[in-house]
Amino acid sequence: MRPFKYTRASDAMNAVSTVSATTSAKFLAGGTNLLDLMKEDVERPTELVDVTKLNFAQIKAANGGVSIGATAKNTDTANHPLIRQNYPLLTQAILASASGQIRNMATNGGNLNQRTRCSYFYDVAMPCNKRTPGTGCGALDGVNRNHAIFGWSEKCVATYPGDMAVALAALEATVKVQTKDGTERTIAFADYHRLPGDAPEKDNNLNHGELITSIELPKNNFADKSYYLKVRERASYAFALVSVAAALETKGNVIENVRLALGGVAHKPWRALEAEKFLKGKAATEVNFKLAAEMEMKTAKPLEYNKFKVELGRRAIARALMQAMNGGKA
Amino acid sequence: MAEDFDELNAVELTADETALLEDLPELSEIGEARRKFLGQATALGLGALALNLLSPEQVFANLEIPADAVFAPVQVENGVKVAMKINGAEKSLNVDSRMTLLDALREKLNLTGSKKGCDHGQCGACTVIVDGRRVLSCLTLTASCEGKQVTTIEGLAKGDELHPMQTAFIKHDGFQCGYCTPGQICSAVALMNEAKNGEASYVTVDVRGKARSIQLSDDEIRERMSGNLCRCGAYPNIVDAIREVHTGKDVAQKWQFAGETETALFENSVSEDAKQ
Amino acid sequence: MVGEAVSRIDGLLKVTGTAAYATDYAIKNTAHAVIFKSAIAAGKILDIDTGAAEKAAGVLAVITHKNAPKLNEKGGIRGGALLQSPNIEFHGQHIGVVVAETFEQARYAARLVKVNYQKTDAKVDFEKHEKEAVMSKEKDKADAVRGDVEAAFQNAEFKVDEIYDTPIEHHQPMEPHATIAVWEGEKLTLYNGSQIVNGAQTAAAATLNLKPENVRIITPHIGGGFGSKGGQWANLILTAVAAKAVNRPVKLALTRQQMFNSVGLRQRNRQHLRLAATKDGKLTALAHETTTHTATTGEYIEPCGDCSKVMYDVPNSLISYRVVPMNIILPTYTRGPGKSTGSFALESAMDELAYQLKIDPIEFRLKNEPAKDPSSGKPWSSRKTVECLKEGAKAFGWEKRKLEPRSNRQGNYLIGYGVACGTYPARQRNTSAIVKLTRNGSDINASIELAASDLGTGTHTILAQTAADALGLPMNKIGVKIGDSALPPAAGSVGSVGAASFANAVNDACEKITDELIAKSGKQFFVRPTAAQLMISENTSEFQTRVDAKPPTDADKFSAHSFNANFAEVRVNDATGMVRVNRFLAATGAGKILNPKTAHSQIIGGGIWGIGMALTEESTLDPRRGNFVTRSFADYHVPSNLDIGAMETIFINEDDKIPNKLGVKGIGEVGIVGVAAAIANAVFNATGKRIRELPITPDKLL
B83, B146 contact by CB (below 8 A): yes
Contacts of C324 (CB under 8 A, 6+ apart): C123, C126, C129, C130, C132, C133, C134, C291, C292, C293, C294
Give per-residue pLDDT as tens, C554-607. Answer: 999 999 999 999 999 999 999 999 999 999 999 999 999 999 999 999 999 999
A309, A264 contact by CB (below 8 A): yes
Chain A contact probe: residue of B144, B207, B210 with most A CBs at under 10 A: B207
Q: What φ, ψ does residue A189 adopt, rounded to 5°?
A: -60, -35
* B210 confidence band (pLDDT: 50, 70, 90): confident
A223 has a chain B CB within 8 A of its CB: yes
What percent of chain C lies above the pLDDT cut of 90?
100
Q: Where are the domains of chain A?
A: 5-52, 226-325
pLDDT at B48 over 80: no
The mean of the pLDDT values for chain A is: 97
Contacts of A225 (CB under 8 A, 6+ apart): A247, A248, A249, A250, A324, A325, A327, A328
Nearest to A234 among C108, C575, C640 (CB): C640
pLDDT at B25 over 90: no
pLDDT of B87 reads 98
Asked if domains C14-18+29-121+175-223+229-261 and C429-550 share a fold, the reply is: yes
* CATH code of the domain occupying A5-52: 3.30.43.10
Is A319 within 8 Å of C575 when comparing Cβ atoms? yes
| Residue in A closest to B183 by C-alpha | A101
Give per-residue pLDDT as tens, C65-102. Answer: 999 999 999 999 999 999 999 999 999 999 999 999 99
Mean pLDDT on C426-443 = 96
pLDDT at A90 over 60: yes
pLDDT at B49 over 80: no
Give per-residue pLDDT as tens, A192-235. Answer: 999 999 999 999 999 999 999 999 999 999 999 999 999 999 99
C672, C610 contact by CB (below 8 A): yes
Architecture of domain C14-18+29-121+175-223+229-261: 2-Layer Sandwich (3.30)
Distance between CA atoms of residues B98 and A1, nearest Å: 7
Is B80 within 8 Å of A75 when comparing Cβ atoms? no
Nearest to C576 among A145, A239, A315 (CB): A315
pLDDT at C6 over 70: yes
The domain made up of C429-550 has a fold known as: Aldehyde Oxidoreductase; domain 4 (3.30.365)
* B75 confidence band (pLDDT: 50, 70, 90): confident
Residue type, C532: A
Nearest to A308 among C632, C634, C702 (CB): C702
DSSP category for residue B136: E
pLDDT of B271 reads 41
Distance between CA atoms of residues C116 and C97, nearest Å: 17
Active site residue C162: no
The long-range contacts involving B126-133, CB below 8 angstroms and separated by at least 24 positions, are B126/B102, B126/B183, B127/A101, B127/B182, B127/B183, B127/B184, B127/B186, B127/B187, B127/B227, B127/B228, B128/B101, B128/B152, B128/B153, B128/B186, B129/B186, B129/B189, B129/B190, B130/B101, B132/B190, B132/B193, B133/A75, B133/A104, B133/B190
pLDDT at B24 over 50: no
Q: Where are the domains of chain C?
A: 14-18+29-121+175-223+229-261, 269-426+556-701, 429-550
Beta strands, E only, A203-316: 211-217, 226-232, 240-251, 254-263, 270-271
With beta carbons under 8 A apart, name residues in chain A contacting C698. 231-233, 241, 312
C664 has a chain B CB within 8 A of its CB: no
Picking from A60, C320, C104, A38, the residue whose alpha carbon sits closest to that of residue B77 is C104
The residue length of chain C stands at: 702
Distance between CA atoms of residues C317 and C149, nearest Å: 6
pLDDT of B260 reads 67
Is B10 within 8 Å of C436 when comparing Cβ atoms? yes
pLDDT of B41 reads 39
With beta carbons under 8 A apart, name residues in chain B contacting C9. 43-44, 46-48, 50-51
**Counting beta carbons within 10 angstroms of the beta carbon of residue C400, is it exposed (0 to 12), middle (13 to 18) or buried (19 or more)?**
exposed
Picking from B225, B235, B185, the residue whose alpha carbon sits closest to that of residue B201 is B225
How many angstroms away from the CA of A118 is the closest CA of chain B? 15
* C671 confidence band (pLDDT: 50, 70, 90): very high
Which domains occur in chain B, in start order? 1-62 (no CATH), 79-155 (3.10.20.30), 157-255 (1.10.150.120)
A1 has a chain C CB within 8 A of its CB: yes
* B261 confidence band (pLDDT: 50, 70, 90): low
How far from each other are the two terminal CA atoms of chain C, in whole angstroms? 52
* B213 confidence band (pLDDT: 50, 70, 90): confident
pLDDT of B212 reads 83
Chain C contact probe: residue of B55, B205, B231 with most C CBs at under 10 A: B231
Lowest mean pLDDT segment, chosen from B46-50, B266-270, C73-77, C268-272: B46-50
pLDDT of B74 reads 59
CATH assignment of C269-426+556-701, among 3.90.870.10, 3.30.365.10, 3.30.43.10, 3.50.50.60? 3.30.365.10
Half-sphere exposure of C406 (CA within 13 A, CB side): 5
Chain B contact probe: residue of C641, C648, C697, C702 with most B CBs at under 10 A: C641
* B44 confidence band (pLDDT: 50, 70, 90): very low
Exposure string of A271-281, with b = 16+ CB inside 10 Å and e = fewer, is: bbebbbebbee
Nearest to B258 among C253, C255, C651 (CB): C651
Distance between CA atoms of residues C650 and B256, nearest Å: 5
* B209 confidence band (pLDDT: 50, 70, 90): confident
C317, C308 contact by CB (below 8 A): yes
Give per-residue pLDDT as tens, C319-351. Answer: 999 999 999 999 999 999 999 999 999 999 999
How many angstroms away from the CA of A161 is the closest CA of chain C? 12
C425, C531 contact by CB (below 8 A): no
CATH assignment of A226-325, among 2.30.40.10, 3.40.1350.10, 3.40.50.300, 3.30.390.50? 3.30.390.50
Q: How many CB pairs under 8 A join A and B?
A: 138
pLDDT at B59 over 80: no
Chain C residues within 8 A (CB-CB) of chain A?
37, 39, 57, 104, 107-108, 111, 257, 412, 575-578, 580, 615-616, 620-625, 627, 629-632, 634-635, 637, 639-643, 695, 697-699, 702
pLDDT of B265 reads 56
Give per-residue pLDDT as tens, C223-251. Answer: 999 999 999 999 999 999 999 999 999 99
Nearest to A233 among C257, C616, C632 (CB): C616
